[in-house]
Amino acid sequence: MGEVRVRFAPSPTGYLHIGGLRTALYNYLFSKQNNGKFILRIEDTDRTRLVDDAIENLIKSLEWAGITYDEGVFIEDGKIIQKGEYGPYIQSERLDIYQKYVKELIEKDKAYYCFCDHERLENLREKQKMEGKVPKYDGLCRGISKEEAEERIANGEEYVVRLKMPSNVDIEFDDLIRGHITINSDDVDDQVLLKSDGFPTYHMAVVVDDHLMGITHVVRGEEWISSTPKHVYLYDAFGWEKPQYCHLPTVLNENRKKLSKREGDVSVEDFKASGYLPEGLVNYLALVGWSPDSNEEIMSLDHMVELFTFDRVASAGGIFDRKKLDWVNSHYMKELEKDELFNLAKPFIIDSGLADEKFLDDHKDWAEVLLLTIKDSVDNLKQIPDAIRFAFEDMPEVSHDELEILKGETVPQLLEALEEKISGMDSITFDNAQTIMKEIQKETGIKGKNLYMPTRVAITGVEHGPELSNIIYILGKDKVLERINKSKELI
């Protein structure tokens, strides 16, 4: 096999769907594994769907996810630039190229001019539907001679160019995931290749570009599989070598429907805003529809490069399981260093209103301990504000069961000792907080459950929670004393 060249070819619709991110990821893994090249091409020939800043958003999402590529469209110094020998990589900048190849098809009698207007096509479609047929162009303009067509065009008539599908021939191709596929040309429409606005359709542009850009493997979502016979036919019409096809199963929700924006998070940006780490999202996404031979589930990008194979990509749709995403993500949360955790958590804390940027920066060491103390209990960054709320707010109301704990026999003695010890300290530092409980145990002889449980309830109001000595440090001298007094009053 020569050099592997793959591409991710999104249409700039405004955001990157996580299904798209997974397509990009599999392309990335495959190209890296084969020391190949990965190209980002922008397919913006549908002028009705253009959205401002869509290319920037796409590229930023890929960048955030850590999916890098070798050629194509990049952002540098805030500007869209293109790199590589096969450019331009933005389809709207390649119109003359498509027009040249459309002409070639017409010369070869593999395509024809069509002058049918919108109204005729609509009526035709309605009629076919009523007859229970799959709507398809009826070939009315096939019979128009090239000379007549050129004359009509010269007279200013609007036209499109259509693919001239032959009748009743089998079109065949192999798919790395779905195997051998055969479709009869009678089931394939005379696809429009060039629209009346001079832009190519996706089908024309994708074939021309994949060929000219030397793409060896077309790895894309399975929603394109029904279009592939048109593409295969185009390659044959041009006499070009076909790429290897590889159609990936759709990312589905728990009801086995395509993940849609109406139901919540679907774009990479949504998941970022929901507090997922790029490592967690990408690792989890890889598992939606694929698993390595070893059945490992936690894998870095580099390790996935080693393990990835198309023959372990499922052909059935992959279910996106939010709980599993949380589980995978929590693994990467645990790995965060305190500085990273602080920086990543900051916007979520500020957003929650618990603290502002200045407070967090002024109390960085304290905030880092706070975050390290709770990080094993959260699955994602968005859960952090709730987990750290105790450090900012008053002690919650002590519930009936917890009050029972405070009514234990040795609790008054314990609280006295705690109060005395803490009052005698200048301040509670992280280090001296670590020894307080041990000293109290020594001094009072109270230990184990009788020591830790009531102390925790007395200063946090609840029975369970993170490391007690950290909590004592986080709350600080004044708050701890105030709470001990409150608890004393309760009993």
- Catalytic positions, written as ranges: 261
**Does residue 9 bind ligand GLU (CB under 6 A)?**
yes
The CB-of-330 to ligand GLU minimum distance in angstroms stands at: 31
What is the chain's Cα-based Rg? Answer: 32
Strands of 10-110, DSSP E: 37-40, 71-76, 79-83
Polymer length in residues for the chain: 491
Nearer to ligand GLU, 37 or 220 (CB): 220
Binding segment toward ligand GLU, per CB under 6 A, in 6-14, 104-112, 128-136, 407-415? 6-14
Collapsing DSSP to helix, strand or coil, 158 comes out as coil
| 200 contacts ligand GLU (rule: CB under 6 A) | no
For residue 414, which of 465, 468, 370 has the smallest C-alpha distance?
A: 468
Site string for ligand GLU, 25-54 (x = CB under 6 A): ------------------x-----------
220 binds ligand GLU (CB under 6 A): yes
Q: For ligand GLU, which residue of 4, 6, 11, 21 counts as binding (CB under 6 A)?
A: 11
- Least CB distance to ligand GLU at residue 120 (A): 29
Shortest separation between residue 234's beta carbon and ligand GLU, angstroms = 13
| Binding segment toward ligand GLU, per CB under 6 A, in 9-17, 179-187, 319-327, 415-423 | 9-17
Residue whose CB is less far from ligand GLU, 10 or 317: 10
**Stretch of residues binding ligand GLU (CB under 6 A), selected from 3-11, 104-112, 251-259, 439-447:** 3-11
CA nearest to 231, candidates 200, 198, 258: 200
Partners of 318 in the beta sheet? 251
Report the residue number, 197 or 223, with the smaller CB distance to ligand GLU: 223
Q: Which two structure tokens, joined as six digits, stand for 180?
A: 């051998």
Helix (H) or strand (E) holding 252: strand 251-252
Of residues 101 and 112, the one with the C-beta less far from ligand GLU: 101
Interstrand relation of 251-252 and 37-40 (parallel, antiparallel or unpaired): unpaired
- x-or-dash pattern for ligand GLU, window 221-250, by CB under 6 A? ---x--------------------------
Supply 312's token pair.
């372990």
Listed in sequence order, the residues at least 6 apart from 440 whose beta carbon sits closer than 8 Å to its beta carbon are 414, 417, 418, 421, 446, 451, 455
In angstroms, the CA 423 to CA 420 distance is 5
Q: Give residue for tokens 């997974």.
A: 22
- Residue 448: phi, psi to the nearest 5? 55, -135
Number of residues that bind ligand GLU (CB under 6 A): 8
Q: What minimum distance in Å lies between the beta carbon of 291 and ligand GLU?
A: 24
The residue (of 10 and 278) whose beta carbon lies closer to ligand GLU is: 10
Stretch of residues binding ligand GLU (CB under 6 A), selected from 8-16, 57-65, 93-101, 153-161: 8-16
Q: What angle do CA 65, 68, 74 make, to 5 degrees?
A: 105
CB 105 within 8 A of CB 193: yes
Q: Which position among 161, 206, 440, 459 is part of the footprint of ligand GLU (CB under 6 A)?
A: 206
Nearest in space to 26 (alpha carbons), one of 320, 301, 231: 301
In the complex, the residues that contact ligand GLU under the rule CB under 6 A are: 9-11, 43, 202, 206, 220, 224
